[in-house]
């Protein structure tokens, strides 16, 4: 990351190119991510969207995108990206599209599709070494339908379909590792609350070809139950507590781009969100909080 | 003009080649595989400039096909049976994108029980998705209709994908002499594809497949696609004429075989209609006034052509190679609704379900069908729909059941 354009915050684009007035919820971490990513990528891309919150960005007759956008279906955005990439390549070969007019093909999905229904299509696209950028806004649940748990939901989180006193019994699927196991060109985790780190990673991904994943933790005020104004704070806490490690995978090697030091206790992150309220009231569930802390500690012990 | 012995699959591959397809997303499934293998060979040997990509499922295959068509290239793909069903969601989606592409389906029965043999339940399950449907009876018709299909799909009044159907095994693996037109001739009939106003360019706001949040916009776009599909009938007739002038083989929405002076008419689709025609010849020899009408298009459904062709007939036998569970033959339903309340509509409309899972329909059975309809005509009572099934078949099945029972007992399950 030494050759980055983005040394300081003031190096970031001053204006957003994605249109305003979209129907996303106030404080949407996914939308913040998309703003920042789109600013760096620019208009010369085709966004291939899977079913999710962001499907509602383009509602007839309006669109906030200054470039192209295609809605496929929940399971198959990477396959749509394959068709578009191949179509553009054929047009270029036939001289019907110039090299300058070429577009970056970007998949945009939530965690519901990325971690679950769309995983087969994603794996297939990586297998075929498709040249595309995959942006997953991970709000850790089926956000568009009212925050039911998904394969990305963290342990113990309360969702619309895990409302017991222990919350979601499963553990968040490691999509980063699943991608890395396919040996793609690039995998990175980001969060909109760390825009410099995000911008550098989009810049790095943009210089590469082949399958590239940007996995963005996307705090969701409605699903995670916090005030919309706290989105940046929650995002920062996710990094500072070590729950959301910022890292990237290049050439078979994983590098952590921001190591929290000192690492804050996870309870600070958990306590700020209504979805973990049951861990603190009516009585603090110390065992469960300790278990979450232990998993985070173990992660950092292993990687540092 | 070159004459070759081709299977139905080979003819489909030749159709795609002559249409100068740019892109072939593929996924193997029996009995369609030979099509993509043949095209793959041509690509490997530089006989065809086309990008072929093997996807990880039919769902993804159809997605890639539609997305490439949106991007502006000419697309072909093929599937069968479970594959077609697996892609169902995307057939609806791609039709909604209003993009032209041609999909060949090689008909095969659907699970369960699982079978490799053909019937029409796979393709008829896609009746309502927005793809136009052409049903072929011969290998020649497969090749020719592939070319017509691209013209249909890309026609400015239509802009909908087209499904070309051929029966598994009966057509897919049967060799027939097929006239292969020269590339130059085909180029005159089928010019290069132009995407028109749909294009992906940087800095141009173009959103495809957007959400609509209320019913009136949704109704508008769905109905527009319906109206476009209906245009397919007139356009097909027009293209069939033009094709005939260029290649000497003319196509109309209906094939009418010895039906003009017939009193009783068989109605069926696909390759089994050739068996029906053979039966018509035999029955004619015996003095029966019988004919056959075969719709080449199932969607749009050639309603007025059928009304004209069947007007004044005494009886019609609809032979369905499909079964809508809980209702019966689908073609019978389609025809009933097309003829209901029409002056001159045949008073007897009898339904027969046959050919399920590749079951043969013998000449004798066509004679029996004719007899049943004749009896209906004489008595004025419409015969109840029935399954074509012989006593001999039932005996053979009972034997299998006894074997299955015995096997169970031998495992120690019996008391």
Per-residue confidence (pLDDT) for residue A153, from 0 to 100 = 98
What is the rounded CA–CA span in Å between residue B105 and residue B77? Answer: 9
% of chain A exceeding 70 in pLDDT:
99
Per-residue confidence (pLDDT) for residue B415, from 0 to 100 = 45
Question: Do B60 and A78 make contact, defined as CB atoms within 8 angstroms?
Answer: yes
Per-residue pLDDT of A10-44, as tens digits, reads 999 999 999 998 889 999 999 999 999 999 999 99
| B358 Rama class: left (phi>0) / alpha (psi -120 to 50) / beta | left
Total domain count, chain A: 1
Please check whether residue A18 is in contact with residue A211, taking contact to mean a CB–CB distance below 8 angstroms.
Answer: no
What's the pTM value of the predicted model, to 2 decimals? Answer: 0.96
Question: Do B68 and A46 make contact, defined as CB atoms within 8 angstroms?
Answer: no
Answer whether residue A31 is part of any domain. Answer: yes
Question: Do B23 and A96 make contact, defined as CB atoms within 8 angstroms?
Answer: no
Please check whether residue B280 is in contact with residue B257, taking contact to mean a CB–CB distance below 8 angstroms.
Answer: yes
Per-residue confidence (pLDDT) for residue B197, from 0 to 100 = 73
What is the rounded CA–CA span in Å between residue A298 and residue B89? Answer: 43
Per-residue confidence (pLDDT) for residue B202, from 0 to 100 = 87
Following CA atoms B95, B101, B104, B107 in sequence, which dihedral angle do they give, to the nearest 10 degrees? 0
What is the rounded CA–CA span in Å between residue A133 and residue A220? Answer: 23
**Residue A174 CB neighbour total at 10 angstroms:** 12
Structure tokens at B320: 């369905």
Per-residue pLDDT of A97-146, as tens digits, reads 999 999 999 999 999 999 999 999 999 999 999 999 999 999 999 999 99
Quote the domain boundaries for residue A100: 9-303
Q: Which residues pair with B133 in a beta bridge?
A: B163, B299
Helix (H, G, I), strand (E, B) or coil at A27: coil
Domains of chain B (ranges plus CATH)?
2-197+210-247 (3.40.50.970), 254-392 (3.40.50.920)
Question: Do B209 and A83 make contact, defined as CB atoms within 8 angstroms?
Answer: no
Please check whether residue B33 is in contact with residue B166, taking contact to mean a CB–CB distance below 8 angstroms.
Answer: no
Structure tokens at B200: 């992906």
What is the rounded CA–CA span in Å between residue A139 and residue A152? Answer: 8
Please check whether residue A213 is in contact with residue A223, taking contact to mean a CB–CB distance below 8 angstroms.
Answer: no
Answer whether residue A136 is part of any domain. Answer: yes
User: Chain A residue with minimal CA distance to B88?
Assistant: A73
Per-residue confidence (pLDDT) for residue B413, from 0 to 100 = 52
Would you tell me the crossing angle of helices B8-18 and B33-44 to the nearest 10 degrees?
40
- Average pLDDT score over chain A: 96
Instruction: Tell me the chain B residues in contact with residue A121 when contact means C-beta distances shorter than 8 Å.
Output: 56-57, 59-60, 63
Question: Do B205 and A103 make contact, defined as CB atoms within 8 angstroms?
Answer: no
Instruction: Tell me the chain A residues in contact with residue B57 when contact means C-beta distances shorter than 8 Å.
Output: 120-121, 124
Q: Cis ω on the peptide bond leading into residue A215 (within 30° of 0)?
A: no
Please check whether residue A48 is in contact with residue B64, taking contact to mean a CB–CB distance below 8 angstroms.
Answer: no
Per-residue confidence (pLDDT) for residue B66, from 0 to 100 = 98
Per-residue confidence (pLDDT) for residue B87, from 0 to 100 = 98
Please check whether residue A19 is in contact with residue A58, taking contact to mean a CB–CB distance below 8 angstroms.
Answer: no
Looking at residue A279, which CATH number applies to its domain?
A: 3.40.50.970
What is the rounded CA–CA span in Å between residue B158 and residue B161? Answer: 9
In 3-state terms chain B splits into helix, strand, coil percentages (rounded to 5) of: 45, 20, 35
- The count of CB pairs under 8 A between chains A and B is 158
Closest-CA distance, A257 to chain B, in angstroms, reads 32
Helix (H, G, I), strand (E, B) or coil at A141: coil
Please check whether residue B388 is in contact with residue B365, taking contact to mean a CB–CB distance below 8 angstroms.
Answer: yes
Answer whether residue A4 is part of any domain. Answer: no
Distance between the two ends of chain A, CA-based, in angstroms?
19
The residues of chain B scoring below 50 in pLDDT are: 414-415
Answer whether residue A162 is part of any domain. Answer: yes
Is this complex's ipTM strictly greater than 0.90?
A: yes
- Which of B51, B89, B204 lies nearest to residue A86, judging by beta carbons? B51
Answer whether residue A282 is part of any domain. Answer: yes
Answer whether residue A104 is part of any domain. Answer: yes
User: Chain A residue with minimal CA distance to B72?
Assistant: A87
Please check whether residue B313 is in contact with residue B263, taking contact to mean a CB–CB distance below 8 angstroms.
Answer: yes
Per-residue confidence (pLDDT) for residue A185, from 0 to 100 = 98
Please check whether residue B274 is in contact with residue B266, taking contact to mean a CB–CB distance below 8 angstroms.
Answer: no
Closest-CA distance, B62 to chain A, in angstroms, reads 9
Per-residue confidence (pLDDT) for residue A203, from 0 to 100 = 97
pLDDT beyond 60 at A2:
no
Helix (H, G, I), strand (E, B) or coil at B179: strand
Please check whether residue B370 is in contact with residue B378, taking contact to mean a CB–CB distance below 8 angstroms.
Answer: no
Question: Do B60 and A65 make contact, defined as CB atoms within 8 angstroms?
Answer: no
> What are the residues whose beta carbons fall under 8 Å from the beta carbon of B381, sequence distance 6 or more?
none
Answer whether residue A3 is part of any domain. Answer: no
- Which of B63, B201, B212 lies nearest to residue A79, judging by beta carbons? B63
Q: Where are the beta strands (DSSP E) in chain A?
A: 45-49, 68-71, 104-110, 132-138, 186-191, 211-217, 246-250, 253-258
Tell me the CA distances in angstroms from B296 to A120, B16, B181, B236, one per residue in order: 37, 19, 21, 10
Question: Do B60 and A69 make contact, defined as CB atoms within 8 angstroms?
Answer: no
Tell me the CA distances in angstroms from B87 to A87, A114, A224, B54, B166, one per residue in order: 20, 19, 35, 15, 18
Return the closest-CA partner of residue B177 out of B334, B389, B11, B25.
Answer: B11
Helix (H, G, I), strand (E, B) or coil at B293: strand
Helix (H, G, I), strand (E, B) or coil at B174: coil
H or E, element range at B18: helix B8-18
Instruction: Tell me the chain A residues in contact with residue B61 when contact means C-beta distances shorter than 8 Å.
Output: 79
- Which of B60, B202, B206 lies nearest to residue A76, judging by beta carbons? B60
């Amino acid at each position: 990351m030494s050759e980055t354009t983005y040394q300081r915050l003031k190096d970031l684009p001053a204006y957003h190119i994605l249109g305003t007035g979209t129907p996303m919820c106030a404080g949407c971490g996914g939308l913040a991510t998309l703003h920042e990513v789109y600013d760096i990528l620019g208009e010369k891309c085709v966004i291939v969207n899977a079913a999710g919150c962001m499907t509602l960005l383009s509602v007839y007759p309006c669109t906030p995108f200054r470039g192209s956008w295609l809605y496929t279906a929940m399971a198959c955005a990477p396959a749509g990206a394959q068709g578009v990439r191949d179509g553009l390549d054929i047009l270029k070969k036939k001289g019907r599209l110039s090299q300058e007019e070429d577009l970056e093909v970007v998949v945009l999905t939530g965690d519901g599709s990325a971690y679950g229904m769309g995983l087969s299509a994603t794996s297939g696209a990586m297998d075929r070494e498709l040249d595309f950028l995959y942006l997953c806004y991970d709000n850790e649940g089926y956000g568009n339908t009212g925050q039911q748990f998904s394969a990305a939901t963290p342990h113990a989180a309360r969702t619309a379909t895990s409302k017991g006193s222990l919350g979601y019994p499963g553990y968040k699927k490691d999509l980063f590792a699943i991608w890395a196991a396919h040996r793609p060109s690039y995998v990175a985790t980001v969060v909109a609350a760390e825009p410099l780190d995000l911008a550098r990673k989009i810049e790095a991904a943009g210089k590469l070809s082949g399958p590239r994943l940007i996995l963005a933790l996307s705090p969701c005020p409605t699903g995670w139950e916090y005030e919309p104004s706290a989105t940046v704070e929650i995002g920062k806490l996710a990094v500072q507590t070590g729950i959301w490690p910022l890292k990237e995978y290049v050439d078979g090697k994983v590098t952590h781009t921001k190591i929290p030091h000192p690492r804050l206790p996870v309870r600070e992150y958990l306590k700020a969100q209504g979805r973990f309220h049951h861990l603190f009231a009516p009585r603090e569930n110390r065992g469960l909080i300790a278990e979450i802390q232990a998993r985070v500690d173990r992660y950092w012990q292993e990687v540092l | 003009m070159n004459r070759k012995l081709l299977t139905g699959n080979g003819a489909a591959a030749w159709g795609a080649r002559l249409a100068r397809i740019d892109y072939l997303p593929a996924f193997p499934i029996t009995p369609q595989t030979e099509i993509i293998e043949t095209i793959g060979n041509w690509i490997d040997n530089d006989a065809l400039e086309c990008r072929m990509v093997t996807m990880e499922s039919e769902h993804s295959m159809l997605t890639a096909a539609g997305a490439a068509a949106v991007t502006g290239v000419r697309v072909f793909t093929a599937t069968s049976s479970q594959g077609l069903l697996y892609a169902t969601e995307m057939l609806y989606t791609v039709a909604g994108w209003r993009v032209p592409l041609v999909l060949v389906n090689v008909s095969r029965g659907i699970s369960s029980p699982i079978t490799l043999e053909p019937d029409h339940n796979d393709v008829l399950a896609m009746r309502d998705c927005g793809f136009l449907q052409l049903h072929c009876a011969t290998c020649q018709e497969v090749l020719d209709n592939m070319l017509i299909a691209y013209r249909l799909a890309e026609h400015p009044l239509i802009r909908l994908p087209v499904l070309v159907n051929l029966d598994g095994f009966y057509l897919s693996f049967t060799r027939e002499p097929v006239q292969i037109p020269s590339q130059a001739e085909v180029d005159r009939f089928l010019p290069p594809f132009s995407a028109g106003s749909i294009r992906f360019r940087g800095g141009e706001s173009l959103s495809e497949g957007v959400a609509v949040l209320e019913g009136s916009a949704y109704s508008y776009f769905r109905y527009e696609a319906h109206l476009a599909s209906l245009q397919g009938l007139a356009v097909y007739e027009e293209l069939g004429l033009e094709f005939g002038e260029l290649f000497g083989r003319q196509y109309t929405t209906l094939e009418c075989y010895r039906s003009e002076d017939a009193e009783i008419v068989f109605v069926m689709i696909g390759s089994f209609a050739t068996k029906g025609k053979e039966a018509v010849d035999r029955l004619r020899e015996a003095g029966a006034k019988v004919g056959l009408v075969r719709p080449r298009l199932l969607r749009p459904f050639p309603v007025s052509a059928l009304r004209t062709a069947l007007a004044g007939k005494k009886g019609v036998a609809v032979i369905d190679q499909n079964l809508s569970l809980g209702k019966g033959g689908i073609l019978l339903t389609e025809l009933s609704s097309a003829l209901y309340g029409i002056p001159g509509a045949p008073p007897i409309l009898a339904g027969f379900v046959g050919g399920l899972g590749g079951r043969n329909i013998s000449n004798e059975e066509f004679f029996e069908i004719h007899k049943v309809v004749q009896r209906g005509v004489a008595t004025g009572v419409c015969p109840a729909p029935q399954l074509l099934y012989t006593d001999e078949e039932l005996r053979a099945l009972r034997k299998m059941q006894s074997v299955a029972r015995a096997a169970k007992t031998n495992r120690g399950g019996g008391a």
